[in-house]
Amino acid sequence: MAIQAPIQRRRGRALAGTGGPTAALFLVPFFAVFSLAMIAPVAYSLVLSLHAQQKSGLGFSEPRTVFVGLENYAQVFQSETFMEGLGRLALYCLIYIPCMVGGAVVFALLLDATAARARKMFQLLVFLPHAVPGVIAALIWAYLYTPGISPLVQVLQGGGIQLNFLDAHLVLPSIVNISVWEWTGYNVIILFTALQAVPREILEAARVDGAGEIRTALSIKFPLILPALSVIMLFTIIGSLQLFTEPSIISKATASVTSTWVPNLWAYDAAFIRHNLNQAAAASIIIAGLAAVLSLLVTRLSSRMNKS
């Protein structure tokens, strides 16, 4: 036994010494793909945003690339359509995030409180909309929103309710509804998984003390799933700033949604309609920077809430 102990310690040190290079070897493919798919495009966009294409003379010569510094960023911020789209995106976030996160929390708590047989069916029905691709979901809702062909609009008109979901006043809530319909189920599953990790002993102790389902949900379950809720908030904010698919599809059914309705559409229009890749890159960097700042704020706020 005395002889085996030093041998085992030497084997442990040997294995510990080889763990670092082995782990690094397995991480190489991830970092290679991450660098090519994430870091390289961001770096290239940053370089593009600091340059511009200019023509000399009467404009008949070939354009040349010149360094302009922050001029593209200044032009983006001076664009009325970009700033209007940024304000519209902020309003979208103010409506969408509370509705989606609040709905996900309520559905997750209800799902956790249902009987085992009903739980599977409820879970399937809640998650099913997320299984529909975003483009297909936007096309379905565009059909349901379009007057003259929508059965939903016809039913409302039959009840004496005249609504045009695609006019300038209702098109933003209509797009919010599409996003809520798409993403609530996904976040419900995350929160429901966190609820399943809540110790059953705590819940049983609360019931013994006379706490009902609502009191247990608000005072015990909800505080214990705050870390999962923080992750959902982080991903939701980042996803909200990337709003593109839904308004781009809805724009085919109404003139209320223009080609510069939100910042991502503005960047797409700049790149592929106006053929100004430099301004499009500057707009993309601005959106990425805004996402980074908001993510940092949410992360710090979540850390303070979890500590308290």
Task: Going residue by residue through the chain, which has 308 residues, state the pLDDT in tens, using 9 for 90 and above.
Answer: 444 545 455 555 544 555 667 878 888 888 899 899 888 988 999 999 999 988 765 556 677 888 998 999 999 999 999 999 999 999 999 999 999 999 999 989 888 877 556 677 777 778 888 888 889 999 999 999 998 888 988 988 888 888 889 999 999 999 999 999 999 999 998 999 899 888 888 888 888 888 887 888 888 888 888 889 999 999 999 999 999 999 999 999 899 999 999 999 999 999 999 999 999 999 999 999 999 999 999 888 888 876 76
What's at 42, amino acid-wise? V
Q: What's the pLDDT score for residue 64? A: 84
Q: What's the pLDDT score for residue 59? A: 58
Q: What's the pLDDT score for residue 77? A: 95
User: Any idea where the domains of the chain sit in the sequence?
Assistant: 79-307
Q: 67 in helix, strand or coil?
A: strand
Sign of CA dihedral 243, 244, 245, 250: positive
Dihedral, CA of residue 109, residue 228, residue 180 and residue 111, to nearest 10: -20
Q: What's the pLDDT score for residue 14? A: 47
Q: Alpha-carbon distance 203 to 104, whole Å?
A: 21
- Return the CATH architecture of domain 79-307: Orthogonal Bundle (1.10)
- On whether the CB atoms of residues 125 and 114 are closer than 8 A, the answer is no
How buried is 246 (Cβ within 10 angstroms: 0-12 exposed, 13-18 middle, 19+ buried)?
Answer: buried
Q: What's the pLDDT score for residue 214? A: 82
25 token code pair: 């070897």
Q: Alpha-carbon distance 293 to 303, whole Å?
A: 15
> What is the value of pTM for the model shown?
0.85
Q: Alpha-carbon distance 211 to 121, whole Å?
A: 27
176 token code pair: 């919010």
